[in-house]
Amino acid sequence: MEAEWMDFLKGMVKPVAATAVVLMAVVLSFIQKLDLEKEMIYSIARAFLQLSVIGFVLQFIFSQKNSGWIVLAYLFMVSVAGYTAGQRAKHVPHGKYIAATSILVGTSITMFLLVVLNVFPFTPRYIIPVAGMMVGNSMTVTGVAMKRLRDDVKTQKNLVETALALGATPRQATLQQVKRALILALSPVLDNAKTVGLISLPGAMTGLIMGGASPLEAIQLQIVVMNMLIGASTVSSIMSTYLCWPAFFTKGYQLQTKVFAAE
């Protein structure tokens, strides 16, 4: 354990040196009177602490043979992601639970297919990083989809109520709002896939190349990553819109006034 600590401290020399660029940002923030200096310092300090802790946690999990640790790590990531996405869509009732459920469904289905197709082995070294990428991406997409759907329904409340009065179901009455919310949420993921490798090299690909892997091997992995991100994000975002409907409407197919009263 002591040897691990010494190796860790020696390895932190370069990350600490890299904080020079953060210091530059802090100085610029002060000069421009942006008042972001404290937040910048807090953010980087928190990142150092979180990554250091998770590094030791992953080191422990990777050394275990029990697959239960994979499940626990995965559920922890989903819980944090659900809470974060729910915070973005704070006016959606039970938003945190809806987001967590949607992320869980989307990422677990995608993960299951990847394992069944033998794309990745079910080991901590593969599953936890892959799950982290999918959960993080699904978190962003789900939060945006939920917030946009609620905001659009509120903005076009009269149109939705007219459709309901004419006999439309909640799904039919909000079809266009759901479509717009999903397109807005998924567009960044699709745009990223279109430009991957042309504008910047993605993290997974960069890490492999810097670790000494062949660029061709790195490309193969990155293609898998882009595929799984699109799959997980699409399932999670669509799932979240389905789960939002009960919170938006009464059993009598009327809009929940209190849901759309808050700004």
Name the amino acid, one letter, at 158: N
Return d(Cα 178, Cα 148) in angstroms, integer. 9
- Residue 37 or 261, more confident: 37
Helix (H, G, I), strand (E, B) or coil at 214: coil
Q: How much is the pLDDT for 168?
A: 87
Is the model's pTM score more than 0.75?
A: yes
Q: What are the pLDDT digits (tens) for 200-240?
A: 777 778 888 888 888 888 888 888 989 999 999 999 999 99
Confidence of residue 1 (pLDDT cuts 50, 70, 90): low
How many Cβ atoms from other residues are within 10 Å of residue 19's Cβ? 14
Q: What are the pLDDT digits (tens) for 26-48?
A: 999 999 999 999 999 999 999 98
Alpha-carbon distances of 46 from 39, 50, 59, rounded to whole Å: 10, 6, 20
**pLDDT > 60? residue 147:** yes
The tokens for 77 are: 């990531």
